[in-house]
């Protein structure tokens, strides 16, 4: 790997829908509008070198993206503001950004090896630094196809006003399906959001409110920790054996989140009385009454906060600490979600991302299918996340390379804390299984 490697952009174009969509207005919900001050969401997939020429692979990706936008037409639109109501998506077929780049100083092995994520990855994603509100003029979806020394990287940037992690992965699943030659997608998205509010939301935020959040640009490291199926099964069994819940059980992701919460707290050298926080992003599709379809397109997530003094968190066993996290997640109900939406509509505000000391935020999910994203030249060799919106304490979960049951965690911390985390004995024991 060349230490100074960086992607060089070869071309930038706009891809429009293969078939025009009748221009329409797509209203946003409370969960969508909260994100106006947030960054785009970025996820990338690593592939070995395709068995066809790079230019031919790029053309296949461009054509199938155009076809995919027929089904996911809001992503080909732009944000607009109705001064009488609020921000919405103008489904005007303005198109998605399509970038082609090259970084021959980076190999697939460089991107999948243990250790810190190479800095070059920051150059593999388009629209880094853009806020969701910038979607008034910028594309709501941008993809970058980067040719590597021996492979390819597909980096996607989605406007977070339009999608959460589940919708983001749904889109990529359908795009890869069309790229493989399918004439139809197996899971068409559902765009209806009318069940949220009968009346239009009235909220036109100020420019000052939109630009309030600041993200650190330097001094952070990202590293992927890979947990095998065996490791995840062992963690779940250990947490449940120690906890013995009267109803339900600790999930494997809850057990893993507790493990990383404890390990990061130790690495940060938190004083015993220091309050620590584990924030889990919880999906509401299946919690809603009646349950929503997994194909419901948009943002349907809630933040679930669990707090514990560092001394208490670290003095208890894994299962006892996981119990509190489980109780927080279990308390997220349809009634609570409806109450949140109703309260927000009455008094709307933007997501504030003020730095919170001793916090970790666990986002995304290993339930999302990422290793099935075969664009016709095989499954991905790995998954990485872009730099947008990362901060000290961000933890991003994805399915591991073994498939269902295995988990990759991309952890973002200060360089000093990351060095200490890598030496944590409880974490090392789990990784060794």
- Whether 8-210 shares its CATH topology with 220-431 is answered yes
Question: Residues 82, 374, 408, 424: which is the catalytic one?
Answer: 374
Task: Answer yes or no: is pLDDT of 3 > 60.
Answer: no
**Mean of pLDDT over the chain:** 94
- β-pair type (394-400, 359-364): parallel
Quick check: is 317 catalytic?
A: no
Residue 355's pLDDT is 74
The answer to whether 406 and 228 are in contact (CB under 8 A) is yes
- What pLDDT, on the 0 to 100 scale, is given for residue 2? 52
User: Which one, of 130, 64, 132, 131, lies nearest residue 98 by Cα?
Assistant: 64
Strand partners, 119: none
Q: Is the dihedral of CA 313, 319, 323, 326 positive or negative?
A: positive
Question: What pTM was computed for the model?
Answer: 0.96
Q: Locate the domains of the chain by residue range.
A: 8-210, 220-431
Q: What is d(CA 310, CA 300) in angstroms, rounded to the nearest whole number?
A: 31
At 125-146, the pLDDT tens digits run 999 999 999 999 999 999 999 9
User: In this predicted structure, what is the pLDDT of residue 211?
Assistant: 85
Region for residue 270 given its phi and psi (left: phi exceeds 0; alpha: psi -120 to 50; beta: otherwise): beta
Give tens-digit pLDDT for 223-267: 999 999 999 999 999 999 999 888 889 999 999 999 999 999 999
Q: Name the least confident of 82-91, 101-110, 188-197, 331-340.
A: 188-197
CATH 3.30.559.10 fits 8-210, yes or no: yes
For 88, the token pair is: 């919405």
Q: What is the pLDDT of residues 42-78, one digit of tens each?
A: 999 999 999 999 999 999 999 999 999 999 999 999 9
Band of the pLDDT at 198, cuts 50, 70, 90?
Answer: low
The predicted pLDDT at position 208 comes to 86
For residue 143, which of 171, 117, 165 has the smallest C-alpha distance?
Answer: 171
Looking at residue 194, its pLDDT comes to: 65
Report residue 196's pLDDT band, with 50, 70 and 90 as the boundaries: low
* C-alpha dist (Å) from residue 79 to 21, 42, 90, 168, 171: 16, 19, 6, 18, 19
Q: Please, which residues bridge with residue 148 across strands?
A: 103
Whether the predicted pLDDT of 30 surpasses 70 = yes
- Residue range 220-431 in CATH 3.30.559.10: yes
User: Can you give the pLDDT at residue 216?
Assistant: 65
Q: What percent of the chain has pLDDT over 90?
A: 86
Look at 141-145, 218-222, 241-245, 285-289 and tell me which has the smallest mean pLDDT: 218-222
pLDDT band at residue 356, thresholds of 50, 70 and 90? Answer: confident
For residue 87, give the nearest of 213, 201, 209 by alpha carbon.
Answer: 201
- Residues in a beta bridge with 405: none
Whether the bond between 290 and the residue before it is cis, its omega within 30 degrees of 0, is yes
pLDDT at 215 over 70: no
């Amino acid at each position: 790997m060349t230490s100074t490697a960086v992607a060089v952009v070869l071309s930038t174009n706009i891809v429009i829908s293969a078939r025009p969509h009748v221009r329409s207005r797509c209203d946003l919900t409370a969960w969508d509008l909260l994100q106006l001050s947030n960054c785009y969401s970025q996820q990338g997939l690593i592939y070995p070198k395709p068995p066809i020429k790079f230019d031919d692979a790029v053309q296949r990706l461009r054509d199938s993206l155009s076809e995919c936008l027929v089904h996911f037409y809001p992503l080909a639109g732009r944000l607009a503001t109705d001064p009488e109501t609020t921000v919405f998506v103008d489904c005007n077929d303005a198109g998605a950004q399509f970038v082609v780049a090259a970084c021959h100083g980076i190999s697939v092995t460089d991107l999948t090896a243990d250790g810190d994520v190479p800095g070059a990855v920051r150059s593999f994603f388009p629209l880094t630094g853009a806020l969701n509100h910038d979607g008034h003029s910028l594309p709501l979806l941008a993809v970058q196809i980067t040719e590597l020394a021996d492979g390819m990287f597909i980096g996607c940037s989605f406007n977070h006003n339009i999608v959460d992690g589940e919708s983001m992965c749904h889109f990529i699943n359908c795009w890869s399906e069309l790229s493989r030659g399918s004439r139809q997608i197996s899971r068409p998205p559902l765009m209806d959001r009318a069940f949220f509010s009968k009346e239009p939301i009235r909220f036109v935020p100020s420019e000052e409110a939109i630009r309030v959040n600041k993200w650190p640009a330097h001094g952070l490291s990202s590293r992927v920790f890979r947990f095998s199926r065996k490791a995840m099964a062992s963690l779940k069994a250990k947490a449940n054996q120690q906890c013995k819940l009267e109803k339900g059980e600790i999930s494997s992701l809850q057990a893993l989140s507790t493990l990383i919460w404890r390990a990061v707290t130790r690495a940060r050298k938190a004083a015993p009385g220091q309050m620590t926080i584990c924030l889990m992003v919880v999906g509401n599709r299946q919690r809603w009454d009646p349950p929503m379809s997994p194909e419901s397109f948009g943002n349907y997530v809630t933040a679930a906060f669990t707090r514990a003094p560092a001394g208490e968190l670290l003095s208890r066993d894994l299962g006892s600490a996981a119990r509190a996290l489980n109780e927080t997640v279990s308390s997220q109900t349809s009634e609570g979600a409806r109450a949140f939406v109703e309260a927000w509509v009455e008094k709307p505000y933007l997501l504030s991302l003020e730095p919170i000391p001793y916090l970790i935020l666990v986002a995304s999910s290993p339930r999302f299918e990422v290793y099935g994203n075969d664009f016709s030249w095989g499954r991905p060799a790995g998954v990485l996340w872009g730099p947008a919106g990362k901060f000290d304490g961000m933890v991003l979960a994805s399915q591991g390379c073994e498939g269902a049951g295995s988990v990759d965690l991309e952890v973002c911390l200060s360089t000093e804390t990351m060095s200490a985390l890598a030496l944590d004995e409880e974490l090392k024991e789990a990784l060794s299984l």
